[in-house]
Amino acid sequence: MMEFLNQGGYALFVWSSYGMALVLLVGEVVVLRRQQRTILARLGRLIRLGATGGKK
């Protein structure tokens, strides 16, 4: 296990690369999910506003 993590002494370079890949790809998915929820919530509000003609 340690040998695998060590990558022949090049752990910094190998894991910095793979780490950034993980961060960016997972990060994109998290941001996308959040955007999706925001869009749905915003459109939901707009539609309800339209349905009541702007009156509360």
Under the rule (CB under 8 A), what is the footprint of another protein?
4, 7-10, 12-14, 16-18, 20-21, 24-25, 28-29, 32, 35-36, 39-41, 43-44, 46-48, 56
Closer Cβ to another protein, 53 or 56, answer by number: 56
Distances (CA, A) of 56 to 20, 38, 51: 48, 22, 10
Q: How far is the CB of 30 from another protein (least distance, A)?
A: 11
Up-side HSE of residue 25: CA atoms within 13 Å toward CB? 6
Q: How far is the CB of 18 from another protein (least distance, A)?
A: 6
What's the gap between Cα 23 and its chain centre?
9
